[in-house]
Amino acid sequence: MATIQDNPTKKYLPLILATSIFMQMLDSTILNTSLPSIAVDLHESPLNMQNAIISYVLTLALFMPVSGFLADKFGTKKIFIFSLVVFILGSLFCSLSSNLPELVISRVIQGIGGSLMTPVGRLALIKTFDKNELVQAMNFAIIPALIGPILGPLVGGYMVDYLSWHWIFLINIPIGILGIFLGLKFMPDYKSTTLTFDLKGFLIFASASLLLSISLEMFGTTTHTTFILLIFILGFLMIYYYYIHARKTENAIFPLNLFQVRTFRVGILGNLATRLGISSIPLLLPLMIQIAYGESAVVSGWIVAPMALTAMLGKSSVIKILNHFGYRKTLMINTFTIGILIACLGIPGIHTSIYWYVPILAILGFFNSIQFTAMNTISIADLRSSHTSSGNSLLSVNQQLAIGFGIAFGLIVLKLFQNNVTLTGADAHLAFRYTFYVVGFLTVLSGFVFRRLHVTDGENMRSQV
């Protein structure tokens, strides 16, 4: 432990990564409570304002695959600083936008910066820390990933009510400047001597990500299911086309032999499966509190806030838990627990106080924090150094698409129940309750993905403290 404290790079690098993750996660959620106010100011309907969210998510998914190559070619330090500058400029342009097209373009610029800064920062972390130190370092850096989605709606609601919507973007500027200052002083500048860039593979994979992201976003906002399914199927066909391409290409952007590493394969699939339920909760619960209970966005933000506090408690415990139980047992039991807790959100009735959700969410935040740290670290546990960049980039893209899929999945289930008058009697609250039951049950099932891990998997990642 003394080694980390005595080494300035190891001491501050997790903080640098935490800064970028916080900005990215905050911007992924802060618009949720602010869109109606922004729509009024820009003379748009709130429904059209969804493009401001979709454009950011799509840009993240599209450009994340190129982050590893750029870092290898130009160095992690230069690309990380560049990404922060682009993100700050995008935030400034968002605050100055006077109409929806300008805001969408500005969000794309933001997304370009966000797509580079977190994967490159995590790549530097992976290359700096030894295997037995990595869990602890990643553990600290990933805390903002848990806090951002909780603070986003709360901060957005307060800023819109007491300041103006412009401040939800301007808040990124001082945080970004702090990240640049720390990055210039402490960010290591790793490069790779062997450089190849699979442009064709990148375009194919980016097309697949774009098609899947569009279809997943549209699933929750439109009823044209035939058109959406066509886009969805085309996205999967592009993934198959990439598979054919990667088999014939020596230096594919995401080499297929990445998936020969069992821990990486299970980690990627586990991330995708378990986030179906986990990612939908920060959206579904505030919606239920506002729609079914008639409370304000600020109140709904405060209800879910305890998740952030218990997430930090979980972070302080995850290393001891992993050292004692191992990755396989921890991830299976933890996923089952999360699924049961999500189902428990459907128990309180409409006449029950909304504050009954607070203890359930507090416990859920604790187990979520363990889940994210364990899934992310087991995914890169056994990757060779030559595959670290591509594996790290693919993990980031997978997480982004998984979050989008989880949100869309939650909305689809909710709409199915809302439209089934026979089952719910047009009771909005009952539709939400049934949705939590379904999402919770499927989350429990997703825990069986981790059965494919061996009892000894991840031993090289365990901290010696």
Average pLDDT per 10 consecutive residues for the chain, totaling 465 residues: 57 75 73 70 67 75 79 83 92 88 89 84 76 67 65 73 80 86 80 74 84 72 72 88 86 78 84 84 78 76 77 76 82 91 87 85 87 81 68 76 76 79 75 90 90 73 47
pLDDT of residue 340: 93
pLDDT of residue 386: 63
pLDDT of residue 465: 32
73 half-sphere exposure, CB direction, 13 A CA radius:
8
Q: How far is CA 395 from CA 156, 163, 246, 366, 379, in A?
A: 29, 37, 17, 23, 8
State pTM to two decimals: 0.76
Residue 47 has which token pair?
């429904």
pLDDT of residue 46: 54
pLDDT of residue 145: 62
Contacts with 338 (C-beta within 8 Å, 6 or more apart), sequence order: 274, 277, 278, 364, 367, 368, 371, 443
DSSP tally for the chain: helices H, then strands E: 21, 0
What separation, in Å, do the N-terminal and C-terminal C-alpha atoms of the chain show?
Answer: 7
Per-residue exposure over 246-265, b if at least 16 CB sit within 10 Å of its own CB, e if not? beebeebbbbeebeebebbe
A 10 A CB-CB count for 288 gives 25
pLDDT of residue 341: 93
